[in-house]
Amino acid sequence: MRPAVTPAAAPADTNIPAGRALVRAPGPRLADAIVTQAARRPVDVALAVRQHEAYVAALRSAGWRVGAVAPADDQPDAVFVEDALVVCGDVAIIGRSGDERRRGEAPGAEQAARELGLRVERIEEPGTLDGGDVLQAGDTVYVGRGARTNEEGICQFARLVGGRRVVPVATRGCLHLKSAMTALPDGGLVGLPDLVDTSVLPGLRVVREPAGAHLVVLGPGHVLMAASAPCTAARFAADGLRVTSVDISEFEALDGCVTCLSVLVP
């Protein structure tokens, strides 16, 4: 069995194309971030900063060039940069969250997308869409329909990514689609079937640890996972995947997971 590794132990990947990873450092108001699913508890902001630094180090170790999105210190949830920005090919789509409190995060995300030379599009009223509801797996894009993303937002998104197969997925009891499922490097889906409409998700591989549903694909055969899913990590490692684990406990206390802390732009 190939064991799970920590960022400090993980050597740099040399077999993947260089790509950009956009991140935004946690701000001083992080502890005031919106919590709808987890049981609210005090958040150690200093520890969260250290955990974020370790997360960024794991991205760099895997060969990603990390770019910083401009701070938004008045926006407690801004560290969850994925929700404001979705990148599909050369198109950057600026989301419009179903929670109005998060819409102030968009300007910095748009600026970062423009600096990368991406074509910028937007979800417009009455559509709503959070990037955490968008899961790209091969040529298919699954988009969660729930509290933060509505049908109009999904329709607008589908028009903006013309040529990609867009599959709406109803969610229940979770914040975002990627709170419930993500994809392996080969495009296979893994997740928590009780939280999604499995009728549109053939072949969903079931995991038992909630954090085991959250994967960031760092490269061929290489995934990033939260340290809170050790059994799932061991299972994936036994299947031949290289697993890098990071502790993101302070972000998990705010309904966060590994996917929402970055936007990867291959």
The per-residue pLDDT for 6 is 44
In a domain, 128, yes or no: yes
In a domain, 2, yes or no: no
pLDDT-derived band at 18 (thresholds 50, 70, 90) equals low
The three-class DSSP label of residue 68 is: strand
CATH code of the domain containing 64:
3.75.10.10
In a domain, 171, yes or no: yes
In a domain, 194, yes or no: yes
Q: Which of 176, 214, 222, 257 is flagged as catalytic?
A: 176
pLDDT tens digit sequence for 90-143: 999 999 999 999 999 999 999 999 999 999 999 999 999 999 999 999 999 999
pLDDT-derived band at 163 (thresholds 50, 70, 90) equals confident
pLDDT-derived band at 202 (thresholds 50, 70, 90) equals confident
* Structure letter (DSSP) for residue 245: E
In a domain, 236, yes or no: yes
In a domain, 93, yes or no: yes
The three-class DSSP label of residue 136 is: strand
H or E element in which residue 210 lies: none
Domain with 258 in it: 7-265
Q: Which of 161, 159, 110, 99 minimizes the C-alpha distance to 132? A: 99
Q: Are strands 222-226 and 242-246 parallel, antiparallel or unpaired?
A: parallel
pLDDT tens digit sequence for 64-101: 999 999 999 999 999 999 999 999 999 999 999 999 99
Percent pLDDT > 70 in the chain is: 93
Q: Which of 174, 214, 257, 260 is flagged as catalytic?
A: 260
In a domain, 1, yes or no: no
260 is catalytic: yes
Q: Are strands 222-226 and 216-219 parallel, antiparallel or unpaired?
A: antiparallel
- In the chain, the number of structural domains is 1
As a whole number, the mean pLDDT across the chain is 94
In a domain, 102, yes or no: yes
Which pair of tokens denotes residue 43? 């958040």
Percent pLDDT > 90 in the chain is: 92
